[in-house]
Structures are given as structure tokens and as C-alpha cells.
Structure 1
Amino acid sequence: MKTSAKARLAAGVLALAAALTAGAALIPGDRTPPVAGAPLQLVETPVSAVSLTGAIQALTTRLRRLPGDHQAWAQLGSAYVQQARLSADPSFYPKAEQALARSAALSPGNFAALTGQAALAAGRHDFTEAVRLAKLSQAANPYGQGAQAVLADAYTQLGRYGEATRAIDRLMELRPGVASFTRASYDAELRGDRTAARRMLEHALDDAVSPADVAYCRHYLGELALHSGDLPGATEQYRLALQAAPDFAPALAGTARAAALDGRLDEAAGRYAAVVGRLPLAQYVIEYGEVLSAAGKDPAEQWALLRAQRELMKAAGVGDDLTWAEFEADHGSAARAVDHAEAEYARNPNVVAADALAWALHRDGRDRQALPYARKATATGWRNALLHHHRAEIERSLGLSAESKKSAARARDADPAFSPDLPALARFS
């Protein structure tokens, strides 16, 4: 019986590892631009940190015995990408790079390694490279779900929304489920169709099996409610997420967000302290700092943590000018914000990067240059209060009073609870 139990456990761990490769970038968490920073999932069913650690240990043991197993190397590399995202520790990215390179060297052109490399490129915010690698993986295996997931996410980040929609449609054909429905939800959200976005999330929830899946879907239903101004509805969804998975940090961050927007700043600060202690993602750190500032407290410690995170990300090959464009525009140097925003938009000309560049130029006193980017940021129909608020402020500065009033009205309509004093809380996580 003992031997049988051990065999079943080993088989289960290796099955999880295989799923990491098969789904290598089925990333339900990547609904948003990278600055938003939700932990990205590499499999159809999000795995816990414990199970992922077990998979990595099992694969490492296997590779000591069978160093020529290219599939195990691909699985290990994909697991390291997942670990980096779940833990907010970018030091796993170089490990992933080495493991995936070993798989590719042992079996050139194998789709599992290519998909893992595409996911790694996306994790490092190199979305052009992610597309290239995902297409190679797609050519090697036209039925690979992971490649379609990477393509959907990378095209979104590159502002190539039509291509992103087609990749999502293909992903839905291959495997309708949490990963495909949540991507379809964000795609609808970007077009301003909140009804379809909510319906897709409800489909995802219906398909959710594991507690992590349920928490994930509930969390994004909460985000959709929060950014519609429905704070009670959002809080209830976050509660249900935490009921399903008490350690799900994004939902705890959601409760902090809702408390802050409801004016309960001390409660929000306490919740953010717990979130950042578990998962020090840039967005959470910035939100915490803004809440501390609003409560009359010094956020310097959080800004120091943010800068330390930047150095870790740079050392691991992660490019993230977007975070710094937004941070500098709201809390630092407008000139530096422009530099970061221009660099980000040049690489990834999506609507969020356009907004960041518009706002940075506005803060630097360059409103005429800012206006075209503000218009691009609001061109898809996305009902995002922050984007419309930024456009309203730019138009007001240019003396375009009628246009400014319309943009301000769109911001209020999108989110009646929006607070311009807490801009990071308006960014989707």
C-alpha cells in the first residue's frame, strides 16, 4: 500500500508538471497590462505555490537521473516562469531561461520549449519576442493552447486588438474554460462591453473546479464591479474569493481597494500591509503608498521597496517602463515620466501605454503633444474612469471646455466611486 501511495503521488506531481508544459502559458491572470501585476497563471487550473514547489522538486529529481529528458526540462522551465509570477520573485526567470534553453538544445523546435520561452518573454514584457516564439510553437503544434494564450496576451499588450481577439477565438475553439473565458472577458471590457465581460467571467466561474479557479473568477468579478462604482458588490465578490481560497492575495488587495475608495483608509492600509508582505508586486506597493499618503502618513518606505523591486526586475531581464512612467507622473519627476512613457509606448503601443504617455506629457506641461495620445487611450470604448479623467484634464488645460466636460462625464459614468487622489486604485489588477 505504501509503495502504491508513493507511486500515485509521484504520478500526480509529474502530471501537474506535464500540465505546466501543455498549458505553458494559459495565463488566466494576465487580463491586464503588465503594470497591473496580477499573478499570472501558466495552466488552465491555477496551482498553489505548494503544488508548484512539489512539481519543481519532482522534476529536478527526475532530471538528475535523466538529464536528456527534453520534455522534463521544458516542464521545469515553465514551472519556474509560473513560480516567478506567483511569488513576484523575478530571480526564477533566469532559471527558467536555462531550463528552456536546455530543452531546446536537446530537441530543437519542440513546441513545449517554444511555448515556455514565449511565456518567459511575456513575463519579461518582451511581447514582440513572445509573439515570434508563440508563432513558432503554433507552427510546431497547431493545437497547442499555450501558444494561443501567449498570442492573445502579447497582441493585447502590443495594442494589436484585432489579432488578440482572433487568438482568443481560437483558444475558445481549442479549449473553452477559465483561461479562454477570462481573456474573452477582458477583450470585451476593452471594447466597453461590460455586459459581455461579466457574462464571460460568469461562464469562467461556472467552469471553475478548484478553489484557486473559483477565487480567481470571483476576484475579477469583484474588479469589474469595483471599477463600475459598485463597492458593496465588489466587496462581496472578494469575500467569496477569499472564502474559496483564503490565501489568494489579489482578492485581499481587492478588499483593501474597496475600503480605501469607501474612505476607510486605516482599514485599507492594514490590509495592504498584509498584501505587500505576501506579494510585493509593484501595483500593490504603489496602491499602499497612495493610501498611506491619503491617510496623512509617510509612504517613503513603500517607495523604497518599489525601487528595490525595480532593481530586481532589471537584473532578471524584466523591462517595465510603464510602472515607472505612471509612478513618476503621479509621485515623482514629470520629465522622467515622459522618458519612461515614450520608451514603453515605442515597444508596446497599447491604450494603457498611450494614457501613460499622455499623462506624463501633461504633467510636464506639454498638453498639445499629450492630447493625441489621450484620444488614442480612449479610442477602443473602454469604460475606464482614469483614462477619461486624464483626457478631461488635458482638454481642460488646453481650454477645450466642452470636450473636457464630456470626458469628465464619461469618467463619472464609468465609475462613480473613482477618486483622482488615488489613481493607482483605478488601474485594473
Structure 2
Amino acid sequence: MNLLDDPVRRRRARRTRRVLIASGALIAVLGVLGGVLVLRPWERGFAPAAAGPAARARGALTAGAPAAPADLAVLIGGHEAHLRERPGDAAAWAVLGAAYVERGRRTADAADFPRAERALRASLKADRGNAAALEGLAALAVARRDFPAAKRWGEAARKAAPKRWTAHAVLIDAYSGLGEHEAVGRALDRLQKLGSGPVVGARAAQVYRDRGWREDAAAQISDALAAAEAPAERAAYLEQAGQLAFERGDREAALRYFRAAVRADPDRRGALAGQGRVLVALDRTAEALTAYQAALAGRPRPEHALELGELYESLGLGRSARVQYDLLRERVRKADAGGVGEELVLGRFEADHGDARAAVQRLRAEWRRQPGTAVADALGWALHRAGRHEEALRYAVRATEGEHGGGVRSALYVFHRGVIERKLQRYGAARRHLREALRINPYFSPLWVPQAERALERLGEPSVEDPPAS
């Protein structure tokens, strides 16, 4: 007899079907509300229905992934309207705060950061144990380059929800900015145990790059690209892949990645500036200027204005360079009004194009507060430019030696060290490091590469009387 010929079994089958249908509906709803925490787009075999812009933005924020500015605008508008009706909704305040952080980060509009802080603190006021709000405040501190605050908030989020893997991703940024390299490794280990998917791979690529593990970094970002589906997320990883390619001097690959990033997300300003950087290296200067001008349209980032200014300076166009340097100062002032610390880029600018002593003072304070590798390099260079070469070398060594956390293979950092050593008449070490800088990336700067080549030419080949390089 067929099993369904039995009336009792038919009733049980109908009940089973109803339970399965209800369960499927519940999973679908949770998938919309929770984004990728429930149904991850990189899990093969799952083909979700197309989500609206607010759901896309919320899903990206939930996973710690980049979101498109247009989607964020829809999400922000909806949550602002909702919170006017329900001002005690802690979860909605946390989402709104995270959306402000991401939009401010993407558009370089620091005015979004005070809004983010108000929203996230409102979320904490409504629910003091709110891990999402704590993590949002950590991400806000990273965006403002306040790494001590990022560490405090990130560790509070981790304590409130130990299994919340995205908190460890934010802590990687915080520890990196503070030069706490062992803590970075522990955070990455925990992140990889708790989470999976392209966001985790991209974070691993960042850590491996900072350690000088170029092949591992490239493999991780390649895997992240293969798994990412949202255009904004793919664009972010394409830009990261382009940066890695350019840092090793692979101009053609870098240009392909940057162009693909802009095709996926035309608002990706870092990829536009990356195109400019590569086109300079390919001697396509007119195209490079166009790419930089596109990157600087709207709300320019100070570091991109510095790059374009130095390109103009390398071309002998001093007046055009000064326009970009004035733009840099203006953008730093606006960033400061939003609570963003641009001490690093301002110190680098002052060391080379302004007041080197002021740069030293600014960067010393930054070093005391958050002694990361980038600050060590910038402070060492500023000290050199101010005539304090012995002290400068200590920081240059720290920025370039792996045992001090300076494992990143940066042509600029190694160039700085070589120039300082040459000034101190340590000619063997200077020769070695200047050559290494040009091996790492022969195109690292239109302004400094010619100086590295001239310095090497003046140093000549080592003589038999030269002491061993140190």
C-alpha cells in the first residue's frame, strides 16, 4: 500500500509540509533582516532573489563589507524616518550609525562622522550591552584614525559578544595603527576561526601585505575576488589587488585591476587615483592627470592631492603643485572639523614641501599616541629633513626591519632609509637600500625615483676600502 493511502499518514504529511513551508518563509525573512549572517552569497548553490538597495547596504554592513553610496543613502533615509517614530530602537540606531561611518569613509565627507557618533551613542543609551554599537564606534574611530579609541571600543565589542567575528576585523585595523603586531596576528587567527568568506580573506591579505608576504597576500585577495558578488565589494577588492600589484612594480596588472574596480563602482576614488599612479609609471602623463582629477572631483582626499601635487612638481609645474598643496591643507581642515586626524599625511607634506621642524613636532605627538609603522617612517624622514639624521635613522630602521614590525616591503620606506644612511656617510648600507627600493618598485614615485637613481649614480660601485654594509 502507498504510504499516503493511509489517512493518518496523509495528515502527518500535510503537517510536515506546512512546517517546512513555514520554516522556509522564516529563513527567507531572516535572510533579508540579517543579511549575510544567515545566508552568505559566497555559499555555492544558493541563488537569492535580488535585494533592494537598503537590504544590500544593510547586508554589507552586517558582514563588514563595503557598500555602495547610493544604497547607503536609501538605508540612511529609511532609518532616519523609522527612528523619528521609534527613537528607542537601539538596533536601528546602530545600523544608522554604521551606515554613516561607511558613507563618510566612502565619500571622504567627515561631516558624516559626528552624525555617526550621535547615532551610535543613542544606540548605547537604549541598550548599554549593544555589541553592534560598540563595534560601530570602533569602526568610527578607525575612520577618524584614532587607533587608541578604536582598540578600546573594539575590545569592548569583543567582550560583549565574543563570537561576533566582525569585531576582530576592526581590531586588526586598531592594532595595526598602534604598531601592536602580535595582537594583529592574534586578531587575525580569531577572525579566521569565527568567520569565513571574502571579507575575512581581504583582511588576511592586508595583514600578510604588512608582513611582507606578498604571494600570500595576492592569493588571499584573489580568493576574496572570486567569492565576492556585490559590485561595491568586488570593486574594493579589485582596488586592493591593484595596490598590491603596483607595490611590486607590476604596472600592467595594477592598471587592469584599477580599471576593473572603477567599472564595478565608478565612485571608487582610490582606484581612480591608483590609475593615475600607474599611468605616470607608464609615461602616459596626460591620462594620469585626467585620472587624478577625476579622483579629486567632489570631496578630494588629502593623500590624493599630495600625490598629484608631487606629480606636478616632478614635471616642473610648481604653480599647479601649489594649488594641490593648498587643496590638501583645506581638506585637512575640513577633516579636522569632523574629528578625523590627518596628522600623518600633513606631517609627510610638511616634511617635504613645508616646515620640516613643524612636521617633526606634529609626528612626534602622533608617534607617542599611536606608534605604527607608517608613523615611524614619516617621523624618521621628517627628522632627516630637519637635519637630525642620527635620530632619523632609528625610526627608519624601525619602519623597515621585520623584528620591529616593519616587515612591509615598501619602496618609499627603504628609499628614505637609504637617503638617511647616505647623509650619515654609511655608503655601503645606503647603496644597498637605494638599490632595494628600486628593485621593490622601480616606479614608486615620480618625484623620488629620479633622486634615488641620481644618489646611486653618485655613490658608484663599492670600493675595496668600503666597510661592509650595515
Post-superposition Cα deviations, 1:380-424, rounded to whole Å, max 9, x if no partner, equal 23211000000000000001011111111221221122336158x
The 8 Å contact of residues 141 and 149 in structure 2, kept in 1 or not, is answered as yes
The 8 Å contact of residues 354 and 374 in structure 1, kept in 2 or not, is answered as yes
Post-superposition Cα deviations, 1:291-311, rounded to whole Å, max 9, x if no partner, equal 222233222222222111111
331, 334, 347: which one pairs with 2:353? 331
Post-superposition Cα deviations, 1:211-261, rounded to whole Å, max 9, x if no partner, equal 222222222221111111111121122222233334422222111111112
Deviates more, 1:164-173 or 1:71-80: 164-173
Greater Rg, structure 1 or structure 2? 2
Aligned to 1:368: 390
Aligned to 1:412: 438
Q: 1:97 to 1:246 in 2, by over 3 A?
A: closer
Letter in 2 for 1:200: Q
The 8 Å contact of residues 389 and 408 in structure 1, kept in 2 or not, is answered as yes
Which 5+ residue runs of structure 2 have no aligned equivalent? 1-31, 34-48, 450-470
Task: Verify: 1:22 aligned to 2:44, yes or no.
Answer: no
Aligned to 1:69: 89
Aligned to 2:259: 239
TM alignment of 1:264-275, pairs within 5 A: 264-275=284-295
Aligned to 1:379: 401
1:278 is displaced (CA, Å) by 4.0
The 8 Å contact of residues 303 and 328 in structure 2, kept in 1 or not, is answered as no
TM alignment of 1:32-51, pairs within 5 A: 44=65, 46-51=66-71
Which 5+ residue runs of structure 1 have no aligned equivalent? 1-6, 27-43, 424-429
Aligned to 2:454: none
Q: 1:119 to 1:246 in 2, by over 3 A?
A: closer
158, 168, 172: which one pairs with 1:148? 168
For the residue of structure 1 that corresponds to 2:249, the secondary structure is coil
Task: Verify: 1:396 aligned to 2:422, yes or no.
Answer: yes
1:22 is displaced (CA, Å) by 3.3
Q: 1:273 to 1:64 in 2, by over 3 A?
A: same
1:110 is displaced (CA, Å) by 1.0
Post-superposition Cα deviations, 1:92-130, rounded to whole Å, max 9, x if no partner, equal 111111111111111112111111111112222211111
For the residue of structure 1 that corresponds to 2:384, the secondary structure is helix
Q: 1:311 to 1:419 in 2, by over 3 A?
A: closer
The 8 Å contact of residues 219 and 241 in structure 1, kept in 2 or not, is answered as yes
Letter in 1 for 2:130: N
373, 379, 390: which one pairs with 1:351? 373
What TM-score, normalized to structure 2?
A: 0.80
The 8 Å contact of residues 138 and 144 in structure 1, kept in 2 or not, is answered as yes
Aligned to 2:283: 263
The 8 Å contact of residues 77 and 96 in structure 1, kept in 2 or not, is answered as yes
TM alignment of 1:268-347, pairs within 5 A: 268-297=288-317, 298=319, 299-347=321-369
Cα distance in 2, alignment partners of residues 59 and 198 from structure 1: 38
Post-superposition Cα deviations, 1:177-215, rounded to whole Å, max 9, x if no partner, equal 222212211211122211111111111111111122222
The 8 Å contact of residues 251 and 278 in structure 2, kept in 1 or not, is answered as yes
1:14 is displaced (CA, Å) by 5.6
1:132 is displaced (CA, Å) by 1.1
Deviates more, 1:333-342 or 1:48-57: 333-342
The 8 Å contact of residues 97 and 115 in structure 2, kept in 1 or not, is answered as yes
The 8 Å contact of residues 84 and 90 in structure 1, kept in 2 or not, is answered as yes
1:83 is displaced (CA, Å) by 1.2
Cα distance in 1, alignment partners of residues 367 and 347 from structure 2: 10
Post-superposition Cα deviations, 1:108-162, rounded to whole Å, max 9, x if no partner, equal 1211111111111222221111111111111111121231111111001111111
The 8 Å contact of residues 311 and 446 in structure 2, kept in 1 or not, is answered as no
The 8 Å contact of residues 104 and 111 in structure 2, kept in 1 or not, is answered as yes
Letter in 2 for 1:202: S
Q: 1:111 to 1:69 in 2, by over 3 A?
A: same
Aligned to 2:44: none
Aligned to 1:115: 135
TM alignment of 1:166-185, pairs within 5 A: 166-185=186-205
1:13 is displaced (CA, Å) by 5.6
Task: Verify: 1:55 aligned to 2:75, yes or no.
Answer: yes
Aligned to 2:100: 80
Q: 1:208 to 1:20 in 2, by over 3 A?
A: closer
Cα distance in 2, alignment partners of residues 55 and 289 from structure 1: 37
Deviates more, 1:233-242 or 1:64-73: 233-242
Q: How many residue pairs get matched?
A: 398
Deviates more, 1:52-61 or 1:313-322: 313-322
Aligned to 1:39: none
Deviates more, 1:194-203 or 1:233-242: 233-242
Identity of aligned residues (%): 39
85, 94, 111: which one pairs with 1:91? 111
Cα distance in 2, alignment partners of residues 66 and 186 from structure 1: 39
For the residue of structure 2 that corresponds to 1:406, the secondary structure is helix
For the residue of structure 1 that corresponds to 2:297, the secondary structure is helix
Cα distance in 1, alignment partners of residues 147 and 308 from structure 2: 28
Post-superposition Cα deviations, 1:11-57, rounded to whole Å, max 9, x if no partner, equal 9566456546634xx3xxxxxxxxxxxxxxxxx2x221110000000
Aligned to 2:45: none
The 8 Å contact of residues 186 and 197 in structure 1, kept in 2 or not, is answered as yes
